[in-house]
């Protein structure tokens, strides 16, 4: 579960780590972030913030669109994530959070409404509404702008601190520990920033991350996530620079096969939750659901045969492409000779 979840982490730290970059004030602002996967610029996030109202109260509306070009198991698919936050202007904690995710033909999403010390969460994957009690010091992060980290680590000089963070995706409060690494000057989007580096560790999922936070504004400038994923502040030109990223290495690095894990699907059929199976194999739960829909009922031997057919199909496509190039070259040569 953790693999694409950490994409779509990307909160996710990323799945959710970028919207908070919107401005600390109430003026309309716009930001772009580059998203690298396996060292390739494969996506971007566009973030806008503006004054708004929610339930008759003033808020800061943060809207984020994240787009990535991905391929896996021989198939190409785009991933688009739309996040909407309504933030309390005084605390920058969200009072409403909505996520819509499209990955190929797969659609996911959840909504969280904060009512006092309760969170009400609905999800496409589960029927009904979940009600979660929130502790008094809960963090309802708009994911990239982090005033709580600025207060504790920059203003108060903390070396390490554990927070109670509400994860709407999982409809639960999780403990996340941040530890001070040091200070670093960074150059991003044509600007210089004095940043503080923090290492994060989710004590439940084990997900580790590193973030660079602007000492002046508390904006998260960039971050390193598991499985070779990085995001950083950039400019609008990033939209035209992205290219396709192959995720096969990420999906198979800990599983030992280059096909959907049929045994994982079998475990889900036996009653194990997608979350538990995903954590065990370090594969995102959404990937498991997609595998189950597409490959449920196959035996491991069948899945291996399927992969062999996919490899053979790819080889034949390359042969056809090479022949087409040869024909084009022959036509050019004949044209010149005539």
Tokens representing 113 are 């409404």
Please give the C-alpha separations between residue 234 and each of 17, 36, 46, 249, in angstroms, as whole numbers: 15, 12, 10, 27
Q: Which residues of the chain have pLDDT under 70?
A: 1-27, 73, 249-338
164, 137 Cβ separation under 8 angstroms: yes
* pLDDT at residue number 249: 66
> pTM for this one?
0.69
79, 102 Cβ separation under 8 angstroms: yes
Q: Angle of helix 262-269 relative to helix 274-281, nearest 10 degrees?
A: 150
* pLDDT at residue number 60: 94
* pLDDT at residue number 5: 44
With H, G, I as helix, E, B as strand and everything else as coil, classify residue 154.
Answer: helix
* pLDDT at residue number 38: 86
Beta strands in 189-219 (DSSP E): 191-202, 208-214
* pLDDT at residue number 102: 87
Rounded Cα–Cα distance for residues 32 and 22 (Å): 10
Rounded Cα–Cα distance for residues 269 and 31 (Å): 43
* pLDDT at residue number 268: 39
What pLDDT, in 10s, does the model give residues 15-27? 444 444 443 445 6
Q: Where are the domains of the chain?
A: 2-246, 257-338
């Amino acid at each position: 579960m953790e693999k694409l979840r950490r994409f779509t982490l990307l909160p996710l730290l990323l799945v959710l780590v970028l919207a908070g970059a919107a401005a600390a004030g109430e003026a309309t602002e716009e930001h772009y972030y580059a998203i690298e996967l396996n060292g390739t610029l494969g996506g971007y996030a566009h973030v806008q913030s503006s004054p708004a109202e929610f339930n008759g109260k003033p808020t800061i509306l943060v809207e984020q669109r994240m787009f990535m070009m991905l391929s896996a198991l021989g198939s190409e698919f785009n991933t688009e994530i739309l996040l909407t936050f309504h933030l309390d202007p005084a605390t920058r904690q969200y009072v409403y959070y909505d996520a819509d995710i499209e990955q190929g033909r797969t659609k996911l999403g959840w909504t969280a409404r904060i009512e006092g010390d309760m969170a009400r969460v609905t999800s496409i994957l589960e029927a009904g509404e979940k009600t979660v009690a929130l502790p008094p010091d809960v963090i309802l992060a708009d994911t990239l702008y982090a005033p709580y980290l600025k207060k504790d680590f920059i203003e108060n000089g903390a070396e390490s601190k554990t927070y109670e963070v509400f994860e709407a995706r999982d409809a639960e409060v999780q403990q996340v520990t941040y530890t001070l690494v040091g200070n670093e000057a960074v150059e991003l989007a044509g600007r210089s920033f004095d940043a503080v580096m923090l290492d994060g560790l989710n004590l439940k999922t084990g997900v580790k991350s590193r973030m660079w936070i602007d000492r002046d504004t508390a904006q998260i400038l960039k971050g390193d996530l598991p499985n070779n994923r990085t995001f950083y502040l950039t400019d609008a030109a990033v939209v035209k620079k992205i290219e396709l990223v192959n995720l096969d290495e990420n999906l198979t690095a800990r599983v030992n096969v280059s096909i959907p894990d049929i045994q994982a699907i079998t475990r889900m059929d036996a009653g194990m939750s997608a979350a538990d199976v995903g954590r065990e194999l370090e594969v995102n739960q959404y990937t498991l659901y997609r595998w189950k829909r597409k490959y449920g009922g196959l035996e491991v031997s069948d899945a291996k045969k399927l992969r062999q057919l996919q490899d053979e199909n790819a080889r034949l496509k390359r042969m056809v492409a090479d022949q087409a190039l040869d024909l084009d070259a022959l036509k050019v040569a004949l044209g010149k000779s005539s």
